[in-house]
Each structure stands twice: as C-alpha cells, then as structure tokens.
C-alpha cells in the first residue's frame, strides 16, 4: 500500500511548493511614504530660483508698488539656468512665480500686476513657459512657488481672495506641464491677517497635479526644516504629528527634528541661499558661499535625511551670475571627489539575519540595489553589521540608508572600528532614514561595525558606503 503524506497531497492539489519558499518580508511600520514622496526623496538636491520684480528694485520683500515696466531683463535665457543647474548636478528648478509683492511671472488673468503689463517683450513674455520648456529640454524637474501673500492685489485680506489664489494655482498647474513640487508658505500681512483656505489650496493642487508634492511649514507632503540655513537636525525623523500645525504657525524645533511617534510621513526640505540674500543684489557678488560652506550644508541636509533646496538669485540680465555658476560647478566637483571611491567591499556578516535567508543577508547592503536590504527577525531591534575588508583601509565617512518604503525605523546606532583587540566607537548617532552621512576623524582599520542599538521595528538597511573624503 502506497502512503501519501499530507504535505504531498497539499502540493499535488494546490500547486504550492514548499521547496525554496521565500521568507516573508518585514511588515511596513506606519507611516510610510507615498510613491510621490519616495520619488521626491530620491531627487535629494535641486534649485530654488528667486527672480521677479525684487530683482530690479533691489529688495527682498517688495511692496507691490513698483511699475510693471521695472521688470526688464536684458538677456533672459532660461536655458542658461537649466544648463547651469544640470551641470551642477541638481535635479530640478523651483521658480518664484509670484513673491509677496504680487508680481506674476506669467500673464495671469487674476491680476493686472504681471508680465503682461510690462514693456518687456511687449507684454507677451512668459517666464514659466520659457523655464518649463528649458527644464524639459535638459531633463530637469519643474516646480513652482506662489506666495499666498499679495501686497498688490486689491482684494487681498478678504475671503474672496482665496478664490483668486486658487485660480493662480489652477492657471500655473494647467498650462506648463508636469510640476513636481508646489511650494507655498504662510506669509501674511500683519495688519490684514488674511485667513487662508489652505485645505482648498491643497485640494486644488492635488486635483490638477496629483503626483506633485506640496511643501509648506506643515506639509501636507513636505515640511520646512525650521531654518533657512539648510540644516536638518542631527535627529531627523520623516514622521510628524501635525496636530495644531498649519503654514505660518509651526514649531521650528519640532520641524527640525520631526517626531519619532508622528502619525504622518512628512519629510524635511532644507532651503538655503548661495548668497546672503534670496534675490540678486550686485553688492553680494563677492559673498557667494564657499565650497567648504556648501559641503557642510550638504552633509547636514542630504546627509541628515533631508533634501537640499539651494537658492540662486538670477541677476538683472536674466542670467545665473558668473560667480554663482562657478561656485555651483566647484561644489559639484567637490561632491564628486568626496564620493569618488567607495571602499565598502569585503566579507559582510551580521549578528542576526531574517530567517537566515540570503534574501535578507547582510551582503544586500553592499549590492548597489536600493530595493534589496539586510533585515533581522521580527522583534530583533538590536543587531550589528560587520565588514571585514580583508586588508587595512583608511576612511573618514560612511553613508548608510534604510529601506524607507517599509517606514523609518532606526532610533540609535554607532560606528565602530577594530583596533586589533577591541571595538572602538568613532561615532554615535540617532536616525538614518533615506540617507545618513557620518563624518569622523580618519581611521585605519581592517574591520568596521555598524551597531544598531535601538529601532522602532526590525532594521532594514539597504545601503552602506565608505569613503576617504577630502577635509575642506
């Protein structure tokens, strides 16, 4: 008599094979990024361009009284902007389509205060058309800032102005192709105290451009980092508890660090200008930030789980000034040099591997595939990765990333090196997120250890890179 096991019967009638069954991946720990937020985070570095009436009146905040004819760039070339930004390694441009003075860089039907009433190009010019086309030509993302504050519009301060502002967004989002980021703030007149319909604004933006991320102090998709120095907190969660926060009224300290127990995924954008001012001023031509300053900002923004929005004030000719252009390229060269040679190769082991499976092995952190990762078993929140180079290496920088599609997890970790007898701590840190870059005095060692000391759930480390970066 032939005996058939229960397992064999199940296999025969269901087609399920238990040979080579893959272990289950870790469950996401909420909140997690949307597809649009995840794509935004991968951009990491892009340009803010401040250009408008203030460029020609030499102001930072205009009053909305300057005649439209004052706006008169003599050699406007948005393709030069795009070429410069592309050469600088940036991934997109966000333009100040309207600043607080109310002057619109497109021929808006909502106001008389726009390029349509300027003598520039006989009133037929359109900066947004030119720039959006240049961005597409050079493979750059196109984004827009429209200030809700309008110091020129006659009905600003009245409830019906909200409809005007929504219509401005509708015009821009409907006529210039894909917009990757819609940028607005809570700027307001201290006397009129306009009550903004932010929910209505957000709904309008999402209806027309559902894949655009919306930036403001309080999100809903991207948050301000809490300062205009481009610096994220050493602890920087992409999680936020937005209860009681709205554009113009948010806790700057909380914005800088995020909230470990936050209920919404709202990562930080770090904005800073390459000069002291945001708009172009000729007296700042000699005050462009140094490469060392820009590298420090990069390490403290992109290297702390944020995105870097670096501002360029286009000059009165309508060009990126030569001083700014030169520095942007030098900054690109410095980044390339810092991350030129990845030393992360050798034998990688871990104190725990999920189901002892090759699918989640420590080697996945070295395979250059952002979609694979090392993970531990559920409930294992303390574990370490150890890399044996096979020979002595000298380095001063590590770059580490989590698989944020499953949520941000790591709360505390340390970087350790082997001195031949003991493990020595060279850096203790908190969060990782999309990307964490850790710098320390150069060390020579054969072995490196990344010790995860605490995590919201089992860690998921997707990438580890090691560098000997120049010290500027």
Q: What is the pLDDT of residues 7-47, one digit of tens each?
A: 343 333 333 334 456 889 999 999 999 999 999 999 999 99
Q: Which pLDDT tens digit goes with each residue over 278-290?
A: 999 999 999 999 9
**pLDDT(158) > 80:** yes
pLDDT at 2: 39
Q: How far apart are CA 279 and CA 160, in angstroms?
A: 30
Mean of pLDDT values over 289-308: 99
Half-sphere exposure of 432 (CA within 13 A, CB side): 29
pLDDT tier at 251 (50, 70, 90 boundaries)? confident
E-strand ranges in 41-166 read 45-50, 92-98, 141-146
Candidate from 28-37, 90-99, 248-257, 371-380 with smallest mean pLDDT: 248-257
pLDDT at 1: 36
List CB contacts of 12: < 8 A, sequence separation 6 or more: none
What phi and psi, each to the nearest 5 degrees, are found at residue 138?
-100, 10
| Helix 161-175 / helix 127-137 crossing angle, nearest 10 deg | 40
Q: How far apart are CA 185 and CA 167, in angstroms?
A: 17
Q: Within its chain, how far is the Cα of 363 from the centroid?
A: 28
Instruction: Report yes or no: 99 and 157 within 8 Å, Cβ to Cβ.
Output: no
pLDDT at 20: 53
Secondary structure element (H or E) that encloses residue 84, with its range? helix 78-87
Q: How far apart are CA 105 and CA 120, in angstroms?
A: 11
Mean of pLDDT values over 229-254: 90
CA distances from residue 168 to 50, 67, 360, 417 in whole angstroms, order as listed: 18, 21, 49, 56
CATH class in words for 347-467: mainly beta
pLDDT at 375: 99
Strand, helix or coil for residue 171 = helix
Question: Measuring CA to CA, which residue among 438, 10, 25, 31 is closest to residue 266?
Answer: 31
Q: Which pLDDT tens digit goes with each residue over 262-274?
A: 999 999 999 999 9
List CB contacts of 208: < 8 A, sequence separation 6 or more: 169, 170, 173, 174
Predicted TM-score of the model (pTM): 0.95
pLDDT at 364: 98
Q: Which pLDDT tens digit goes with each residue over 400-433?
A: 999 999 999 999 999 999 999 999 999 999 999 9
**Per-domain residue ranges of the chain:** 35-338, 347-467
pLDDT at 116: 99
Q: How far apart are CA 195 and CA 443, in angstroms?
A: 56
Name the average pLDDT for the chain. Answer: 95
Mean of pLDDT values over 151-155: 96
Output DSSP code: residue 162: H
CA distances from residue 442 to 144, 385, 397, 428, 466 in whole angstroms, order as listed: 42, 20, 8, 15, 12
CA distances from residue 130 to 102, 137, 171 in whole angstroms, order as listed: 20, 11, 15
pLDDT at 16: 38
Q: How far apart are CA 176 and CA 104, in angstroms?
A: 15
Q: Within its chain, how far is the Cα of 398 from the centroid?
A: 20
Question: Measuring CA to CA, which residue among 387, 373, 389, 375 is closest to residue 462?
Answer: 373
pLDDT tier at 458 (50, 70, 90 boundaries)? very high
The two tokens of residue 235 are 């602890």
What phi and psi, each to the nearest 5 degrees, are found at residue 144?
-140, 135
Cis preceding-peptide flag for 220 (omega within 30 of 0)? yes
List CB contacts of 28: < 8 A, sequence separation 6 or more: 405, 406, 407
The two tokens of residue 394 are 């000298």
Q: How far apart are CA 398 and CA 232, in angstroms?
A: 18
Instruction: Report yes or no: 143 and 179 within 8 Å, Cβ to Cβ.
Output: yes
List CB contacts of 341: < 8 A, sequence separation 6 or more: 467, 468
pLDDT at 3: 42
Same fold for the domain at 35-338 and the one at 347-467?
no
In CATH terms, the fold of domain 35-338 is: TIM Barrel (3.20.20)
Q: Which pLDDT tens digit goes with each residue over 335-346?
A: 999 999 999 999
Residue 129 CB coordination number (10 Å): 16
């Amino acid at each position: 008599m032939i005996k058939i096991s229960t397992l064999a019967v199940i296999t025969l009638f269901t087609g399920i094979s238990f040979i080579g069954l893959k272990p289950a991946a870790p469950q996401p720990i909420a909140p997690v990024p949307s597809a649009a937020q995840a794509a935004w985070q991968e951009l990491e570095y892009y340009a803010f361009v401040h250009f408008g009436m203030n460029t020609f009146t030499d102001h930072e905040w205009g009053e909305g009284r300057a005649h439209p004819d004052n706006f008169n760039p003599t050699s406007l070339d948005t393709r030069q902007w795009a070429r410069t930004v592309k050469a600088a390694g940036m991934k997109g441009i966000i333009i100040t389509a309207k600043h607080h003075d109310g002057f619109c860089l497109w021929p808006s039907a909502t106001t008389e205060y726009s390029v349509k009433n300027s003598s520039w190009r006989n009133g037929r010019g359109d900066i947004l058309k030119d720039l959006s086309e240049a961005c597409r030509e050079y493979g750059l993302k196109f984004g827009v800032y429209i200030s809700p504050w309008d110091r020129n519009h006659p009905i600003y301060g009245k409830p019906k102005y909200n409809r005007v502002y929504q219509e401005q967004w509708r015009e821009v989002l409907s006529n210039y192709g894909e917009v990757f980021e819609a940028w607005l703030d809570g700027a307001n007149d201290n006397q009129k105290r306009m009550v903004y319909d932010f929910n209505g604004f957000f709904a309008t933006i999402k209806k027309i451009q559902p894949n655009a991320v919306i930036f403001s102090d309080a999100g809903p998709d991207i948050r301000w980092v809490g300062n205009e120095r481009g610096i994220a907190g050493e602890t920087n969660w992409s999680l936020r508890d937005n209860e009681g926060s709205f554009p113009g009224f948010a806790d700057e300290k909380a914005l800088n660090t995020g909230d470990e127990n936050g209920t919404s995924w709202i990562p930080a954008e770090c904005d800073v200008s390459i000069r002291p001012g945001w708009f172009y001023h000729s007296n700042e031509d000699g005050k462009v930030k140094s490469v060392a300053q820009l590298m420090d900002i990069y390490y403290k923004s992109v290297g702390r789980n944020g995105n870097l929005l670096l501002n360029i004030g286009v000059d009165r000719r309508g060009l990126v000034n030569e001083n700014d252009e030169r520095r942007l390229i030098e900054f690109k060269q410095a980044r390339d040099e810092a991350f030129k040679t990845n030393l992360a190769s050798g034998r990688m082991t871990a104190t725990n591997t999920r189901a002892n499976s090759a699918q989640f092995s420590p080697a996945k952190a070295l395979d250059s595939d952002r979609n694979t990762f090392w993970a531990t078993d559920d409930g294992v929140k303390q574990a370490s990765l150890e890399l044996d180079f096979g020979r002595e290496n000298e380095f001063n920088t590590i770059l580490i990333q989590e698989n944020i599609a499953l949520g941000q997890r790591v709360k505390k970790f340390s970087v350790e090196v082997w001195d031949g007898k003991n493990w020595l701590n060279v850096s203790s840190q908190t969060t990782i997120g999309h990307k964490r870059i850790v710098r320390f005095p150069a060390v020579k060692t054969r072995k490196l250890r990344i010790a995860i000391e605490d995590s919201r759930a089992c860690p998921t480390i997707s990438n580890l890179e090691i560098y000997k970066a120049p010290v500027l």
